[in-house]
Chain A
């Protein structure tokens, strides 16, 4: 039974570029949440996808967008990259019915913006 997977592992981009990160949820899960973790800080909620719709969004600009596919996998897109977007991007999957459902994290994608 595969856990949460993410790709790529590492990514280096320059300011102004666009990036797409991918996440496959744990088997049996239908909900994907995305978090940004800056160095030395706790994860910050970006948004959550359920039934291919954005169900909840954190305090991130609309440069951050996402998508969920019918197989429940998800993408995070970031446009017009800034130096401050450098971080570890984590996705978490859950069964999604209740907010009390456990969220399981993937290994993350380390994004560096130069």
Chain B
């Protein structure tokens, strides 16, 4: 089955700086890569996703890049703000409908 690895496990950044989280996946058939943000005690919320026919997608301060050849994808958050502090999960899906999640990255934005 699909195996998703996520790095780093923790990330501390100064407010206003950029944060980058990287994930690799094992199944070359995977074609959908969402990113979820989970605040303490809350549900995971989709922040951005990318499909395998696209190499990059941007939504305001958030962007995701996908390298199908290398089987990795990354989340970029620019101009970080205190409300960006949360746990971020990457996930991958092939045609078996399930999402396989990474272990998560705890992001702390220092004021």
Q: Please tell me the number of chain A residues within 8 Å of chain B, measured between CB atoms.
A: 25
| B20 contacts chain A at the CB level, 8 A cutoff | no
Nearest chain A CB to B87's CB is how many angstroms away?
Answer: 9
- Residues on the A chain within 8 Å of B46, using CB: 102-104
Instruction: Assess whether A105 is in contact with B89, with CB atoms less than 8 Å apart.
Output: no
Which chain A residue lies CB-closest to B45?
A105
CB distance from B3 to the nearest CB of A (A): 12
Choose from B31, B94, B96, B99 the contact partner of A103 (Cβ within 8 Å). Answer: B99
The yes or no answer to A112 lying at the interface (CB within 8 A) is no
Give CA–CA (A95, B40) in the complex, Å.
27
Residues of A within 8 A of B93 (CB): 99-100
Q: How many residue pairs, one in A and one in B, have C-beta atoms under 8 Å apart?
A: 60
B36 surroundings in chain A (CB, below 8 A): 105
Binary CB contact string for chain A from 72 to 109 against chain B (1 if under 8 A, 0 otherwise): 00000000000000000010100000011011111110
CA distance A105 to B100 in the complex (A): 14
Residue of B nearest to A45 (CB): B98
Known A105-B44, A108-B43; further 18 A-B contacts with Cβ < 8 A: A33-B97, A33-B99, A35-B99, A41-B104, A42-B89, A42-B91, A42-B102, A43-B99, A44-B101, A45-B100, A55-B97, A92-B99, A99-B95, A100-B32, A100-B93, A102-B34, A102-B46, A102-B49
30 A-B pairs in the complex with CB atoms less than 8 angstroms apart = A4-B43, A33-B98, A33-B99, A42-B89, A42-B91, A42-B102, A42-B103, A42-B104, A43-B89, A48-B98, A55-B97, A56-B96, A56-B97, A56-B98, A58-B98, A90-B44, A92-B99, A99-B31, A99-B32, A99-B94, A99-B95, A100-B32, A100-B51, A102-B34, A103-B34, A105-B44, A106-B43, A107-B42, A107-B43, A108-B43
Query: Which chain B residues have a beta carbon within 8 Å of chain A's beta carbons?
Result: 1, 6, 31-32, 34, 36, 42-46, 49, 51, 89, 91, 93-104
